[in-house]
Chains A and B, each alone.
Chain A
């Protein structure tokens, strides 16, 4: 596909009715030097000005590890007149195995006017057949939720950290899921953000001999960065749901309380401070403190357990990254149904 060099331009402008034809033409021009690869259809929807270019950059990086057909949509729903423009481009990289260029194609649309009405027809007509359809929704959800669209979505990806009203947005998401007869998998990047830190804490309890400590947990402290209170609450909700705690009346916005099945009280302190989204977690169970904190390097977690009279054995684990490309890559790689996420949400729904 020599006609489209790897830049973050939107590529070749094309007429709407000729997108498939133009794509074929581009592949024919590559004369077999490049291999088109695709595992999923990934549609990205955003209503912010300039989002098309920004998302093209993200897609270029995501496709380095996750071959897909990307459908990037920038919408201006306030425009009075309806208009649609389209571009095609490709993101190519040299495969690890050799010198062959592996390419993912991107179709970009700029929609003006009553956008969401146009969305299903635009997306459906350009899906690569027989492949799953992931929709990355970067804007706030709004009513009415088009049942036609949701019926086709396999995974709905969003970041609840950006939501102004969690309950209202979650209600819309759940409505979309109902429209799809529960088939859609809900993927919250705010939840993905917690993957590594959850894993780091979970591993302390892998040995059955340590399970008795669950019943002794009495304190949890979560340090989070400004703007990431929802991530901290999801973390607390996860522990609550998995350990069957019940949310009790909150003392304040920074002091929560759960009650265990044996009526033991678990105090949760939420501390806002500069740093990583969820910078540190400390869990106290009896005379032991389990701590997971971001190491100075930022991309590693320092994991340790402290008990009086015992040598502290710190361990380093990958911390993962919180940028959209890393979160999306993690999400695309892991798959799965995310039931645990829904349990976590339900556990702290009133607090979010």
Chain B
């Protein structure tokens, strides 16, 4: 008897075909179905999954929103959006079948009757399509709507499942705006769905290179002995964008770079770099180790915030040679706005592995180029033999986007009679080595949610611990007395000079991107 057939819950016909958890037939209900996220990301991602044959049979999509429209109008809108935003060309024959599985359900988010009607409609779909009572609720609406949606889902018993089926909810960020609101949101979610049913999405974790950090660290023995305070001098994480606030000024004015990027994306990347090896690859084993990293982050007192964190805001300048306005001149931004569009941080993880290794992070808008990467700077070799007067370090760079890959800077002898040493780069590019295009982050994450794999989703304690770290910084910035200043930088530069000083005073510099 073969191995798969020995285990009653496994499909023996899947053996050898797919190494990943298998997604199950379900109905995906998207709240906020007429919004940008649905059009730009979710439906194109689901279409691509269908076109690649990765979507389970009978997956049905129900869009839930306020505006009046028919199924066919909704399908047409989504088709147009998918043709525009899909990573692969939309085929008429595939869209025809895929489109037929999309329905529109009009209702106010606060209307109880709308949810009762939704429940009946989902039951009907189950019977007709074989979705077996499995439901995936995607909260793509504004966070102010979450509470109402979740309460009504519970009231309509849509959070409950019968034997053998499941109900899950995907919550889009922001997961609160501080610890108190995150706790409140988690409380609201928990009132309707258990933690096991809850999937907090951070699309950074769906990126191929973010996942590859774990592979690189734990599938290659050469890095393990070096990955600690004895050999690592410092770590830098940069998330730079050339874009300004675009149409997000309303949100951004309230959030700023720290809440928008550091609390979630950058801390998640840091966790992957700094975590201990998990005991296994289950979602909770990995998340247990990640949350320990956040818990170990040294909390900063109000005085320490000014010394270790620099916040900045862009003024007018130029991006790729084109003049751009300053942040305060952007539409819907207050002319005296104190919102940071740039933040640089010097952090420490107070645990055995990372003691005294500074972690430098910077994130900003209107920087000279868009790039996200992590660099591990190793300690210098002893200043003897070839190394007298040498300032360069070995640097391992993990490029998250664009041009995903890994490079290692080492030293080599320049050919010739003298011993001249120069740095050289060993470079691995995903695009060069693997011709296959990586799936979009949302494709991977939606598939994982349908499969019940929460590894790449943030757990409640991760989110709350991250806010517990961020809150004192925000409080220091907004203190009435002695608040650290906001520094300005021209658009198209690498941030305020003070961010460079953060490293320079310890004899370091930001890596040149």
Contacts and interface: CB of A to CB of B under 8 A. Distances in A.
Given A35-B432, A303-B57, A208 B164 contact: yes
A263 interface: no
Nearest to B98: A316
Contact of A97 (B58, B132, B402): B402
Contacts of A205: 11, 13
A67 B433 contact: yes
A201 B93 CA distance: 20
B12 A318 contact: no
Interface stretch (A17-25, A44-52, A338-346): A338-346
A207 B25 contact: yes
Given A209-B132, A295-B93, A340-B15, A333 B402 contact: no
B135 to A, nearest CB: 14
Contact of B130 (A37, A65, A305): A305
Contacts of A35: 429, 432
A130 B97 CA distance: 46
Contacts of A198: 13, 17
B435 A97 contact: no
A66 B435 contact: yes
B5 interface: yes
Given A202-B11, A206-B14, A333-B436, A316 B2 contact: no
Interface stretch (A7-15, A238-246, A272-280): A238-246
Contacts of B213: none
- By secondary structure, the A interface counts as mixed
Interface residues of B, number: 45
A50 B437 CA distance: 34
Nearest to A201: B13
B134 to A, nearest CB: 9
A198 B93 CA distance: 22
Interface in B220-273: none
B338 interface: no
A199 B2 contact: no
Interface in A222-270: 239, 241-244
Interface string B1-28: 1101100110111111111001011000
A209 B8 contact: no
A144 interface: no
B406 to A, nearest CB: 14
A67 B50 CA distance: 28
B68 interface: no
Nearest to B405: A97
A218 interface: no
Given A202-B13, A208-B9, A243-B5, A300 B435 contact: no
A300 B431 contact: no
A121 interface: no
A35 B17 CA distance: 33
A313 B9 CA distance: 25
Nearest to A200: B53
Contact of A313 (B2, B8, B22, B58): B58
B424 interface: no
B5 A242 contact: yes
A300 B56 CA distance: 15
Contacts of A66: 435
A340 B16 contact: yes
Nearest to A343: B2
B50 to A, nearest CB: 8
A150 to B, nearest CB: 23
Interface in B427-445: 429-437
B52 interface: yes
Interface of A: 35, 37, 39, 64-67, 95-98, 100, 102, 195-196, 198-209, 211, 214, 239, 241-244, 295, 297, 300, 303, 305, 310-311, 313-318, 333, 336-341, 343
Given A67-B432, A97-B432, 17 more contacts: A96-B435, A100-B432, A203-B22, A207-B164, A209-B164, A211-B11, A243-B5, A244-B5, A305-B57, A314-B97, A315-B58, A316-B97, A316-B98, A317-B53, A318-B51, A338-B16, A340-B15
26 contacts: A37-B432, A66-B435, A67-B432, A95-B431, A96-B435, A97-B432, A98-B431, A102-B431, A198-B13, A202-B11, A203-B56, A205-B11, A206-B11, A206-B56, A208-B9, A208-B164, A242-B5, A244-B5, A297-B93, A300-B94, A311-B128, A315-B58, A315-B97, A316-B94, A316-B98, A340-B16
Q: What 8 A-B pairs come out closest when comparing CB atoms?
A: A65-B435, A97-B431, A202-B13, A340-B16, A317-B53, A242-B12, A318-B53, A95-B431
Interface of B: 1-2, 4-5, 8-9, 11-19, 22, 24-25, 50-53, 56-58, 93-94, 97-98, 128-130, 132, 164, 402-403, 429-437
